Every structure is written in C-alpha cells, then in structure tokens.
Amino acid sequence: MHISQLVKQRLQDALTTCPITASLESLDSYASMVRPTTDPKFGDYQVNCAMPLAKLVGSNPREVAAGLVDALQVADLCKPPEIAGPGFINLTLTDEFLQDQMLRMLADPRCGVPESENPKRIIVDFSSPNVAKPMHVGHIRSTVIGDCLARTLQFLGHQVITDNHLGDWGTQFGIIIYGYKHFGDVAVVRENPVAELSTLYRRVHQLMGYHSAKKSIAKLESEIQALSDEHHSALSAADAADGADAKKKRKAADGLVKKRKAAEAKLEEAREKIDAVEQDAELLALAKQHVDIGQQVLIETSKLHSGDPENLALWNEFLPFCKDEINRVYDRLNVTFDHVLGESFYHPMLQDVVDELKQRGLAKLSDDAVCVFLPEFDAPMIVQKRDGAFLYATTDIATLRYRLTEFNPDEILYVVDTRQGEHFDKLFAVARLIGMDQVKLVHVNFGTVLGDDGKPMKTRSGSLIGLESLLDDAVAAAYKEACDPDRLAKMDPPMDEPERREVADVIGIAAIKYADLGHERTSDYKFNLDKMVALNGNTATYAQYSYARTVGILQKNETDEESVADRMARDRFTITHPAERALSLALLRFEEALQSVYQDYAPNHLVEYVYSLAETFSKFNDQCHVLKAESEAIQTTRLALVTMTKRVLKQALELLGIRVVRRM
Ligand code: ARG
C-alpha cells in the first residue's frame, strides 16, 4: 500500500477541480508535495503546496488551503482535513481505513507491495573487484549496495540482471606476472596459490608505489609552493577589492587552499610509501634492483594483451585461484550474480570499438593516441594509447555496446566509488555522442570507508584491510556482544555452542552490511565494529533481535501465522490502542520505503524504515500485552500485528541481504 501515492492522486484531483488552482499549469509538481509528518500532532500526512500556490496566484495561503480542502475527496481515507499554521493541510487517516488496509496486507504474501505494472529491465553492474589482489574493505560498499538494489528492484517486479564486471585483465595481472617472474617460487605458488599470489601482488605494488612516490615528491613540493604563492596574491587581490568582487575573490582564494591541502595530503601519502620501504633493508635493496618496475609491469600487461603465450598461460593458471578467493567472500556474504563478465571477456571487441569510432569520425588521433573529444570536458576520453594499448574506458564502451544488444535494458546502474565520477560522466557523454543513450545510465556512486583517523581505512603496513579478516572480526565481535552466555544458558532449550556460532555468523555479517547500507550512500563513514554489532541503536543486531522477539511472542502464545489468520476471520482487526495504530501505520509504509529506495537508488531509506518499524514495535510491545490482553478480540488484533511485524521485518532484512535467526 502506497499511502502517500494515494493521497497525491487525491490532491491532484483536488487541484484540477478547485477554482483557485484549476487553470494553473504543471499541477503535478504541487500534487507531489505530500509528506509523512514527523510529529503525530500534525496527523499522519501533511500537504505543503498551499504556500507556493498562494504566492503564484497572489492570495492568502490559508484561503488557498481552505479551497483545496473543499475540493479534496478523502472521506474514505481520512478524518476531515485540518488547516494549520501558515497553510499546512494535515491529514489523519481513519482507523477504519488502517484496519481495512491491514486486513489486505495480512492476506497478501507480498506484504502489501504490488508488483510494478510497468516493469523495467535493469542491469546492475556491481562489486566488480580487480581480482588479482584480495578483496579489501573498499569492496564492501559496491557489493552490498548493488546486492540490495538488485533484490529490492526485483521484489518491486522489475527484471533485474546482475553483472559482476570483474577486473580480470588489467595492470594487476601485469603485477602478479612480474612478481611471479622475479620473486615467485613455483613450488610455493602450487602449494598455496592464493596466499602466495597476494604476497607477490603486495610486494610489487609496494615497490611500484615507492618509485612513483619518489618521482612525485619534487613535483608535489613545487606544486604546493606555487599554490601557496597564488593564495597569497589572491588574498591581496581580495583585500584590495570591495563588495561582491571581494567576496568572489575570497572564494577563489579558499579554493586554492583546498587544492593545496589536497596536494599536501598526496605528499604525505607519498612520504609514507617511501618510509615504509626505507625502514625495511631487504625491501629497500629490492627497490634498488627494480628501478623501472612500473614500466616493466606495463610491458608484462601489454604482452598479455597481445597474446604472448607465456603470459597468457600464467594468466590462465592464476585466474581460477583469484576467482576462488573472491567467491569465498561472496559465499560468506550470500551474494550471487547472473553474469560474471569480466574485462577479459570484452578484449576481443575493443579494436572494433575503436575502429568504429574512427570510421564514424567520432574519434581522432591526437598525440598519437586515439581520443574522443567531448565538448563538455577539457580533456578527451582516450580509447587507445600510442603503443596500441586499450583503456578501462574502451572496455566500458564495449561493455555498454554488448549489453545493449544482448539485454536491451531500460536502465543500467553502475554501483561504483564516487572517485570514478569523471570516468562515468565521460562514458555517459560518449554514449550520448554515439547514440547509445536509449537507456538510462546511472552512476550509483558511494563514499569511502574511513578508519578511526578519518582517512581511508588501512592496516598498519599501509595496505587496505582485507575484507575476509574484517568479516572474521565482525563475527568474533558478534559472538561476544550478542550471545551473552548467561542469557543463552537460561534459554529453553539452552543454546549450545554450534547454534551460538551460527547465530554469531549471521549477526556479524549482517552488522557490517547493515551499517554500510544505513549510511547515506554518497557520504564517507567511519568503520566502527563495536557500534555495528551493538544490541541497541540502529543496528542489524537490534532489527534481528526484534524479529526474534516476534517469533518468541507467537511461541509464548502457542500460535502460528495460520491460526492467527483463522482467528482474524472470526474477530476482525480492530484498533483500540494508540500503539496498535502506530504499528499498523508503520507496517503499511513498507511499500513507500521500497519505492524510495528505487527512486533515489538509496538502500539507507530501507534501513531507516527497518529501524523505525523495530522501534515502533518495541513501543507497542512495552504498552500492549498480548498474552494477557484485555479480551480475546484485542488479543487477535495484537497477534496479527506481531505476525505482520515478523513478516515485514524478515522481508525487509532479506532485501538488505540480511538473514534472521529465530532466537538470539
Ligand atoms: N574494476 C573496477 C575497479 O575496481 C570497477 C568496475 C566498475 N564497473 C564498470 N563497468 N566500470 O575500480
């Protein structure tokens, strides 16, 4: 049931019949000004369009509101609307309406959420790690956000195609091939391939980082100097100017400070990389032996791309190990994909793509590289380098072309880090330029996971934290936090060790997912495991615990969903307590929450919904006895509410990719 949608439709009708507004244009934008209230004293929904409309027609907002209320036909949903403050229209749903809707919801296996009448075919490109290195904390976001969006859109009735665009062909393979050739040991790789390959990756990566940091230091230092000189003169210019001009100049000066700070952060990072190597005599000796390592890695990569038999054989040998490694993580996270078409899949199509762009006059040679010039951008998109190498962008154009012909989608969602924003802006611009824009392309971007220090989360040695060890930590924390041995021993029957481990696993993994999904997608957030597994607050643990409580209540009342349905047929659903009413309304808002996830591609709306439902349920539980209800009819209604809460919580958590346990 989408109550706001229903109210919006009624408002739209009122706007077209009300004499004050009937002749105005674009009334739907006013009809959409309906919000759930934050305070029950303003009713359940509030209509806010009288104020802007009054401005438009040059009249008093309360008069406009009164005109709208006269035209508004909502007697079947609401009590008579009230006008408040400057011209808000407050709507309070009637108990009869809520009761009817609850009855429908109880009878509906889809928890009152209809399937879309206009289903879209939507590709979700997510997770997409570069597989030559172990998955790290940065991969959690794309994986869980993409999975949640895929699950939710599918539940809303859309045809979802998930695709993991693996980085299985890039420089990272050049890195492990170089590492294997120079530092590798066949026996060790055979025996423990995953660990050894990741050690090789780390070592080569570190040496490359060292040399490129060394090269960048002087440049960064002079850049910082130039920026601070520029800042000084910008400030003097601002001092000399006045009024709006001074303000503008000061703003420009602030911009320079930001740039300088970014350069300083880069310089610090470069110094850290250098220190890490210089503090280790063995590494430093290696660094001195492999001075042109960056160049050599590129050569190994390009040999792979041009079909060099040795490198291709190594790639074929290593890739399955890399895939096993990431699949283990996906199993633990309970994430699956319809397709896993990595970058290597598109390699044979890349020359075609470039040739076609050239033939159509859309790509030109510039500095010996093949470039697509885009009027909206300073720099072109390079699709083939001077040495013939293709780029990440070339693969994305080929991928888009393949997806359009193979799947004919209405939308493609790229769930990828905000830092790739420019890449996708350019990709979408190219798509428009070459006529591949009959599809809605969306960069579903997200912020960075930060450590306690507010910087991207890293281990002490400076590498990003492995995703698996993070999952292990979460499960261990859950084992301690949510499975208090005294409480578990008192359970009937007491919880034994295997069950406790199973519960800790479910809670630990859920904690990480839920915390990630709950943050606003585009902002950065600090990773705090203790907070994530806590039993109180907006956590998965709290939501899962609320679910377990619903199971417990039904058990205590020696009833199940089926017998509750039988009782409903006899006793009708009747609201007699404000906490019952509040819980009914919260349950009926499930569809609203799901639609807003789709609208903003924002799983955090669903997390907020789950939290508010769990809280509303907890208040209901404190205030309304079920077992000792005042009458049998009242008990029936309360059992129905508990049943529905159980179903909606389970469904909502499932859409977040989170499992539940029956007790904890
Ligand atoms: N493998 C890339 C990375 O780790 C992400 C790929 C995202 N998807 C895409 N179609 N570009 O940065």
Over range 501-530, report the average pLDDT.
Answer: 95
Q: What is the pLDDT of residue 487?
A: 79
Which atom of ligand 1 is nearest the CA belonging to 166?
A: 1
Claim to verify: residue 198 and residue 292 sit in the same structural domain? yes
Distance CA 7, CA 44 (A): 11
Does residue 460 register a pLDDT over 70?
Answer: no
Confidence of residue 401 (pLDDT cuts 50, 70, 90): very high
Which atom of ligand 1 is nearest the CA belonging to 343?
A: 1
Does residue 597 register a pLDDT over 90?
Answer: yes
Q: 291-307 burial, b for 16+ CB within 10 Å, e for fewer? A: eebbebbbbbbbbbbee
Which atom of ligand 1 is nearest the CA belonging to 392?
A: 11
Which atom of ligand 1 is nearest the CA belonging to 427?
A: 11
Over range 477-481, report the average pLDDT.
Answer: 89
Q: What is the pLDDT of residue 461?
A: 59
Does residue 254 register a pLDDT over 80?
Answer: yes
> CATH code at 76?
3.30.1360.70
Does residue 447 register a pLDDT over 90?
Answer: yes
Q: Are 467 and 134 in contact (CB under 8 A)?
A: yes
Claim to verify: residue 581 and residue 505 sit in the same structural domain? yes
> CATH code at 351?
3.40.50.620
Residue nearest to atom 4 of ligand 1 (CA): 129
The rounded Å distance from CA 358 to ligand 1 centre is 25
Over range 57-76, report the average pLDDT.
Answer: 94
Over range 101-105, report the average pLDDT.
Answer: 95
Claim to verify: residue 341 and residue 251 sit in the same structural domain? no
Claim to verify: residue 356 and residue 333 sit in the same structural domain? yes
User: Would you say residue 44 lies in a domain?
Assistant: yes
Domain count, the chain: 4
Q: What is the pLDDT of residue 459?
A: 63
The rounded Å distance from CA 129 to ligand 1 centre is 7
Claim to verify: residue 486 and residue 442 sit in the same structural domain? no
Closest CA to 175 of 152, 208, 136, 223: 208
User: Would you say residue 457 lies in a domain?
Assistant: no
Claim to verify: residue 417 and residue 477 sit in the same structural domain? no
Q: What percent of the chain has pLDDT over 70?
A: 99
Tell me the HSE value of 373 on the side-chain side, using a 13 A CA sphere: 6
Interacting residues of 302 by C-beta distance below 8 A, sequence separation 6+: 174, 387, 388, 389
User: Would you say residue 556 lies in a domain?
Assistant: yes
User: Would you say residue 115 lies in a domain?
Assistant: no
Which atom of ligand 1 is nearest the CA belonging to 420?
A: 12
Instruction: List the structure tokens of 241.
Output: 């100017």
| Three-state DSSP state, 339 | strand
Does residue 444 register a pLDDT over 70?
Answer: yes
**130, β-bridge pairs:** 167
Over range 329-335, report the average pLDDT.
Answer: 96
Over range 643-660, report the average pLDDT.
Answer: 98
The rounded Å distance from CA 377 to ligand 1 centre is 21
Look up the domain containing 237 and give its range: 171-312
Claim to verify: residue 487 and residue 629 sit in the same structural domain? yes
Report the alpha-carbon angle 21-25-30, nearest 5.
Answer: 65
Confidence of residue 17 (pLDDT cuts 50, 70, 90): very high
Distance CA 229, CA 224 (A): 9
Ligand 1 pocket test: which of 123, 125, 126, 128 has the largest number of ligand atoms within 8 Å of its C-beta?
128
Closest CA to 411 of 385, 439, 437: 439
Q: What is the pLDDT of residue 174?
A: 94
Claim to verify: residue 544 and residue 633 sit in the same structural domain? yes
The rounded Å distance from CA 420 to ligand 1 centre is 9
Claim to verify: residue 199 and residue 64 sit in the same structural domain? no
Distance CA 329, CA 138 (A): 13
pLDDT in tens, 256-287: 999 999 999 999 999 999 999 999 999 999 99
The rounded Å distance from CA 226 to ligand 1 centre is 34
> CATH code at 531?
1.10.730.10
The rounded Å distance from CA 416 to ligand 1 centre is 7
Q: What is the pLDDT of residue 9?
A: 94
For helices 632-655 and 578-588, the axis angle rounded to 10 degrees is 30
User: Would you say residue 548 lies in a domain?
Assistant: yes
DSSP class of residue 292 equals T
Instruction: Give the binding-site residues of ligand 1, using a 6 Å CB cut-off.
Output: 125, 128-130, 165, 167, 396, 399, 414, 416
Tell me the HSE value of 498 on the side-chain side, using a 13 A CA sphere: 0
Q: What percent of the chain has pLDDT over 90?
A: 81
Q: What is the pLDDT of residue 493?
A: 87
User: Would you say residue 74 lies in a domain?
Assistant: yes
Tell me the HSE value of 215 on the side-chain side, using a 13 A CA sphere: 9
Residue nearest to atom 5 of ligand 1 (CA): 128
Claim to verify: residue 155 and residue 176 sit in the same structural domain? no
Claim to verify: residue 175 and residue 154 sit in the same structural domain? no
Distance CA 245, CA 247 (A): 5
Which atom of ligand 1 is nearest the CA belonging to 424?
A: 11
Ligand 1 pocket test: which of 125, 137, 165 has the largest number of ligand atoms within 8 Å of its C-beta?
165
Strand (E) or helix (H) holding 90: strand 88-91
Distance CA 651, CA 552 (A): 18
The rounded Å distance from CA 125 to ligand 1 centre is 9
Whether residue 493 is preceded by a cis peptide bond, meaning omega within 30 degrees of 0, is yes
> If you search the block for the tokens 């050894």, which residue do you land on?
196
The rounded Å distance from CA 175 to ligand 1 centre is 18
User: Would you say residue 461 lies in a domain?
Assistant: no
Residue nearest to atom 1 of ligand 1 (CA): 167
The rounded Å distance from CA 330 to ligand 1 centre is 17
DSSP class of residue 118 equals S
Q: What is the pLDDT of residue 219?
A: 94
Claim to verify: residue 249 and residue 164 sit in the same structural domain? no
Mean pLDDT of the chain: 93
What is the complex's ipTM, to 2 decimals? 0.99
Does residue 492 register a pLDDT over 90?
Answer: no
- What does the DSSP assignment read for 281-346? HHHHHHHHH-TTHHHHHHHHHHHHHTT-HHHHHHHHHHHHHHHHHHHHHHHHHT---SB---HHHH
Does residue 231 register a pLDDT over 80?
Answer: yes
